[in-house]
Amino acid sequence: MMAALVEAGVLRSGVLLGSLTTYKLGGPAKWFAQPADEVELMAVLEVARDIDVPIVTLGRGSNVVISDAGLDAVVIQLGSGFGTATINADGIVAAGAAMPLPRVARYAAEHDRGGLEFMVGIPGSVGGAVRMNAGCFGSETAQWLIDATIISTTTAERRVATPQDLEMQYRTTNLGTDEIVSSARFATIARPQAESLAEMRTITAWRRDHQPGGTFNAGSAFKNPPGDAAGRIIDSLGLKGFRVGGAAVSFKHANFFEADADATPQDVYALVHRVKEKVLSATGIELTPEIVFLGVFEPVSGSQPEERP
């Protein structure tokens, strides 16, 4: 099975992962797979179980930093067969987990359906949106999700889960690292295409004016604490421009951490932890990172070494 997947190009070794993330940082995967459909996905999962190597699912890499050492794992990025959508007569949009969220928003609008316009402001995929209950501009995935199809990487069993099943809360669900979202269904509302497009233009204009574009970053570095905004707190401490190596807090939005061309994954890791420590020391508020760090990172200011998976 493994030899056949390698020969077919579905399974490759030593693929550099940095180019698959928005930070453009990170070393190689022991094995990298981009299954085109569920049949190939099941074959990859079988091989991973046979060789007893951890599995890491990578979406569009918009909230991930991978260490320079890479990942001793089978890294799976769902391929083309998971990147399409359909819509039925009731306006329910069924989308594959690899479909970019802006495309989902525009697809619904093309069929005079609204509600998903907020997705145009999120640079992730459907799978990542379900896993993290992504949201912006007052809306989040849980409000519109009907259900998602989940595949266990350990048993290959499929299940269909509702937002209640997933215990979706602010930027979190109960999905484990041994579960892959393969598709999702979203409710929509009747809305003229012109209105949806106008709202999406407003969202993209706001992002252009208030968030750093054209830089290497992963969106919000921290989740917002209850009743406040992480960016406001970081800004209030005068930390815009605060730098560790090649990574710095954005001058445009304090909850965005930008990487220079010569930055390392460790620089971003250290910056996140240094800012977290400064906020805790000054305010007593413990910020929770939205950025997910994968691989081995050196400890910062007395913290413990971190390694995932």
Amino acid at 37: D
Catalytic residue among 60, 106, 131, 171: 171
Following CA atoms 277, 278, 283, 288 in sequence, which dihedral angle do they give, to the nearest 10 degrees? -40
Do the beta carbons of residue 265 and residue 300 sit within 8 Å?
no
Please say if 220 is a catalytic residue.
Answer: yes
Q: Left if phi > 0, otherwise alpha if psi is -120 to 50, otherwise beta: which for 85?
A: beta
Catalytic residue among 182, 220, 250, 258: 220
Please say if 171 is a catalytic residue.
Answer: yes
Q: Among candidates 218, 271, 212, which has minimal Cα distance to 246?
A: 271
What b/e string do you get for 79-104 counting C-beta neighbours within 10 Å, with b at 16 or more? bebbbebebeeebebbbbbbbbbbbb
Residues ≥6 apart with Cβ < 8 Å to 308:
292, 293, 294, 295
CA angle 275, 280, 284 (to 5 degrees): 155
| Residues classed as catalytic | 171, 220, 290
